[in-house]
Chain A
């Protein structure tokens, strides 16, 4: 696996270049903010008809990571669907695809601010999931330790000697890790934003996603 290892609260985790997080000891794969059905939600609300391929693209990438890790458990950290109606609007073919991915493993949907209720798909629906020593929830809570969350879609900008490069990124310190958004139709929030820099300890680091994930001190 192409990844960077780090430890929080005694658990050793691997940040994958795809934006997924792998907990080898538990054979547990975490992804956040899939935003499936985003294009259909935008259309429903009177916006334009965006290319309706983001669910397909996101599932292809998720399938790659599931195949690569052979995970026993998958945790989707919330905002898995752009809203609950978008979840209902997922096509029959995509539903079958998701059930295929669910076969033979435990699947947990954590609730997010976009998808605060259960969805009509297999798997367990939870507000948060504790797996000692870690807790999986959508939005980070200050003061907690051993926390794995998403929500913010963090991205990081690195000024190299010749060019600035900006990519979705994991942010972590000794207490928590915040995952980048995994969904295809997602933007990002710079790590320099107060929402993120207030949350993370001064020695926090970031891991940029991409072909080869790389660690940097978290820009603030």
Chain B
């Protein structure tokens, strides 16, 4: 090899035969392939994945290799499958004898077993599957000879517990394979150094390679004949304009923020699709075979458009996508830029994207996002320290792989970026939790989960626990879902999944949308929702689980500035009218002031606070205010928050909101309410599942009958009462403070506002408050006066109406 980045002749010839030249950043990755850790920052369509694999192909073209050479980890199963396809072509054309296989949750048990015995050269997998692989006693043999690990779409993993779990698994891999080289592939991000820090094996450095970002995207708001509605998320008004765009382009990706919205939009799109353009749907709740069919059709170029969600967010190469449509506000500028990049099938060609606001509030948000994209103003928050529940799970998975030394494990973990500042005492507390439960009351001397052996190594007391630990591995919070199938004699076609709570609300004859079909609920059989085809009725809408994104701080602030820019001439007329309507009926939120509206609606009293503090802080504000309202006897019942506002409802009207916002009182209340509220219980449930205290709900378990299982809320209440300083309670509090609480921004906001609170009482809902009623994620305020009053009302009515009240001997 003569010059830096020179490839073996077989590879150079292949590029030449295609009339291609490797991009400079691809050569750069080859030239620096011996660096212990490399992070490539490149825009979508920049040949990132190829850049990651070129050193591997060069290596394998030069010298044959026995066993696993390169491990590729991506956040998506679909991505692993896609890379397998895309890598196969060059590998075959170059004539390399390389085995490439994927291993995900979808891989069959037989193949998985074979892969452990006889690993391929290149294994494509996900963080969860990798964590599991490292938990087998034969992990040293599986990974023997491993040279490189490639983490794709690392920006998407870096901000989640999945990433923390992955980096711990890498630390373990590195112990097994000391020569391992790490490569991270990232889309354009605001803080490359933060990601490099996570990827590095400290104190080894991580070098950063930055590719040419390419031309600015061609991005605009979709022009439609009809104006967006006042509220709602369906964007049905835009269907004709979207169809028109599909006709004018080769292949269009239509992104939605939630699965339910994607389903509704897809349904409406087909109702209007008079030309029968081939349009598919793809989201994470659909059955795997359905998803694979759509993916295959897309690769063949058979589809003109795909209605999709975040499941297509990441770099799957669909070939000829020439337009990306984002339906609904993009919430986050960085992700919008990454989605737009999907339309750039040629590097150095501008990608084309259209934004479709679903309602008028989103018009403003889309408008602000467009400004931000043009100004290259990406958003992001600094990363926090690694979460301890993930660390606990890693300890248990390590124990499942065999006896281990606490010192070695601590040293291994503390070379990982997220756990660089981990101190020994904290590690010991986590180890103690895994071993004994870590309670103030020592109760499990005989039944410890992990035992310290005479030789100083830790091991599982009961070896059978290993399989249970593996079954609970992973950090993705699943909501209980049920499979949906067509009713047939012998188990009909699987369609996908719906949330259990949604399934429980269905009555035979009810209809809902799934995979673009209207189906009729027939009944529940063995934890499967059985449905039949039904095209006649207007569907109810399936409530799918799925990631809900919050608008970034930077974007929220931009919106507030935009509102106070008295010149709205750049905004669509209907939106400017709406702002004027709000201005006349109530007033517009202003910087340095706090707008509060109160009004009655549907038999309850509402209070709306426009804090523009971001979803998490608004959420906290909701918790704090409802707590104070409860103390003041105002019978609050629940609240919902967006990035801009919090809406609280209850039985009584608030006449003087000022005392509610006393900062000192709010701060004093912080600890107290943190303990008792539902959000903490929700956070605790996640922490308890990840750390291995409670088991995930597996379908087999649930069949055994509900009265055998009890809710994690009971464990939370018990710990709060008898062991409030328990490790899991500390983790729950830390997580809530960091993620859900974000109290600092409330303080900032209230300090800026001081006493400038504007209270407006209106006879009905205001233009700005209306969309809040449609927000998902409503939080009920538990305990207290409202629940007792409602229950009294309802139980008396039921007894009276049923006539049983007269029969009842004495009440």
What residues on B are CB-neighbors of A205 within 8 Å? Answer: 804, 808
Q: Mark B780-811, 1 if CB is under 8 A from A, else 0.
A: 10000001101111110011001010011111
- Asked whether B790 lies within 8 Å of A184 as measured between CB atoms, the reply is no
Known: A39-B443, A215-B795. A188 touches B722 (CB 8 A): no
| Choice from A5, A44, A217 contacting B811 with Cβ under 8 Å | A5
What residues on A are CB-neighbors of B707 within 8 Å? Answer: 152-153, 181, 186-189
Interface size class of A (residues with CB under 8 A): 35 or more
What residues on B are CB-neighbors of A215 within 8 Å? Answer: 795, 799, 808, 811
Q: How far is the CA of A6 from the CA of B809 in the complex (A)?
A: 6
- Asked whether B437 lies within 8 Å of A48 as measured between CB atoms, the reply is yes
Asked whether any CB of chain A lies closer than 8 Å to the CB of B454, the reply is: no
Q: How far is the CA of A215 from the CA of B709 in the complex (A)?
A: 25
Q: How far is the CB of B426 from chain A (nearest CB, A)?
A: 19
- Asked whether B726 lies within 8 Å of A49 as measured between CB atoms, the reply is no
Q: How far is the CA of A95 from the CA of B552 in the complex (A)?
A: 56
Asked whether any CB of chain A lies closer than 8 Å to the CB of B273, the reply is: no
Q: Spot the interface stretch: B492-500, B533-541, B710-718.
A: B710-718
Q: How far is the CA of A21 from the CA of B214 in the complex (A)?
A: 75
Within 197-214 of A, Cβ neighbours of B (below 8 Å) are at: 203, 205, 208, 210-212, 214
Q: How far is the CB of B544 from chain A (nearest CB, A)?
A: 20
| Choice from A57, A152, A208, A217 contacting B722 with Cβ under 8 Å | A57
- Asked whether B603 lies within 8 Å of A161 as measured between CB atoms, the reply is yes
What residues on B are CB-neighbors of A181 within 8 Å? Answer: 707
Q: Spot the interface stretch: B79-87, B444-452, B580-588, B652-660.
A: B444-452
Within 4-36 of A, Cβ neighbours of B (below 8 Å) are at: 4-7, 12
Q: How far is the CB of B730 from chain A (nearest CB, A)?
A: 14
Q: Mark B717-746, 1 if CB is under 8 A from A, else 0.
A: 011011100100000000000000000000
- Asked whether A158 lies within 8 Å of B794 as measured between CB atoms, the reply is yes
Asked whether any CB of chain B lies closer than 8 Å to the CB of A143, the reply is: no
| Choice from A7, A161, A188 contacting B790 with Cβ under 8 Å | A161
Asked whether any CB of chain B lies closer than 8 Å to the CB of A104, the reply is: no
Q: How far is the CB of A159 from chain B (nearest CB, A)?
A: 8
Asked whether any CB of chain A lies closer than 8 Å to the CB of B418, the reply is: no
Known: A185-B710, A186-B707. A165 touches B443 (CB 8 A): no
Q: How far is the CB of B675 from chain A (nearest CB, A)?
A: 15
- Asked whether B718 lies within 8 Å of A184 as measured between CB atoms, the reply is yes
- Asked whether A48 lies within 8 Å of B788 as measured between CB atoms, the reply is no
Q: How far is the CB of A214 from chain B (nearest CB, A)?
A: 4
| Chain A residue nearest to B450 in the complex (CB) | A49
Q: Mark B47-84, 1 if CB is under 8 A from A, else 0.
A: 00000000000000000000000000000000000000
- Asked whether B799 lies within 8 Å of A187 as measured between CB atoms, the reply is no
| Choice from B436, B722, B810 contacting A49 with Cβ under 8 Å | B436
Most B CB within 10 A of own CB, among A4, A208, A217: A217
| Choice from A40, A51, A185, A189 contacting B439 with Cβ under 8 Å | A51
Q: How far is the CA of A52 from the CA of B715 in the complex (A)?
A: 10
| Chain A residue nearest to B446 in the complex (CB) | A44
| Chain A residue nearest to B469 in the complex (CB) | A48
Asked whether any CB of chain B lies closer than 8 Å to the CB of A50, the reply is: yes
| Choice from B692, B693, B709, B790 contacting A163 with Cβ under 8 Å | B790
- Asked whether B811 lies within 8 Å of A51 as measured between CB atoms, the reply is no
Known: A187-B706, A215-B808. A160 touches B714 (CB 8 A): no
Asked whether any CB of chain A lies closer than 8 Å to the CB of B488, the reply is: no
| Chain B residue nearest to A57 in the complex (CB) | B718
Q: How far is the CA of A12 from the CA of B810 in the complex (A)?
A: 10
What residues on A are CB-neighbors of B780 within 8 Å? Answer: 163
- Asked whether B603 lies within 8 Å of A48 as measured between CB atoms, the reply is no
- Asked whether B441 lies within 8 Å of A52 as measured between CB atoms, the reply is yes
Q: How far is the CA of A187 from the CA of B701 in the complex (A)?
A: 14
What residues on B are CB-neighbors of A185 within 8 Å? Answer: 710, 714, 718
| Choice from A46, A184, A211, A217 contacting B799 with Cβ under 8 Å | A217
Asked whether any CB of chain B lies closer than 8 Å to the CB of A98, the reply is: no
Q: Spot the interface stretch: B98-106, B460-468, B515-523.
A: B460-468
Q: How far is the CA of A57 from the CA of B441 in the complex (A)?
A: 13
- Asked whether B722 lies within 8 Å of A165 as measured between CB atoms, the reply is no
- Asked whether B708 lies within 8 Å of A187 as measured between CB atoms, the reply is yes
Asked whether any CB of chain B lies closer than 8 Å to the CB of A56, the reply is: yes
Within 570-624 of B, Cβ neighbours of A (below 8 Å) are at: 603-604
What residues on B are CB-neighbors of A193 within 8 Å? Answer: 706
- Asked whether A40 lies within 8 Å of B794 as measured between CB atoms, the reply is no
Asked whether any CB of chain B lies closer than 8 Å to the CB of A162, the reply is: yes
What residues on B are CB-neighbors of A96 within 8 Å? Answer: none
What residues on A are CB-neighbors of B811 within 8 Å? Answer: 4-5, 215
| Choice from B468, B705, B798 contacting A216 with Cβ under 8 Å | B798
What residues on A are CB-neighbors of B714 within 8 Å? Answer: 184-185
Asked whether any CB of chain A lies closer than 8 Å to the CB of B637, the reply is: yes
What residues on A are CB-neighbors of B441 within 8 Å? Answer: 52-53
Q: How far is the CB of B705 from chain A (nearest CB, A)?
A: 7
Q: How far is the CA of A53 from the CA of B719 in the complex (A)?
A: 8
- Asked whether B447 lies within 8 Å of A186 as measured between CB atoms, the reply is no
What are 14 A-to-B residue pairs whose CB atoms are below 8 Å? A4-B811, A40-B444, A47-B465, A47-B695, A51-B715, A53-B719, A57-B718, A158-B794, A161-B794, A162-B604, A162-B790, A163-B637, A184-B718, A211-B788
Closest A-B pairs by Cβ, 8 of them: A49-B437, A52-B443, A43-B447, A187-B710, A46-B462, A153-B707, A189-B707, A53-B722
Chain A contacts to B: CB under 8 angstroms: 4-7, 12, 39-40, 43-44, 46-54, 56-57, 91, 152-153, 158-163, 165, 181, 184-190, 193, 203, 205, 208, 210-212, 214-217
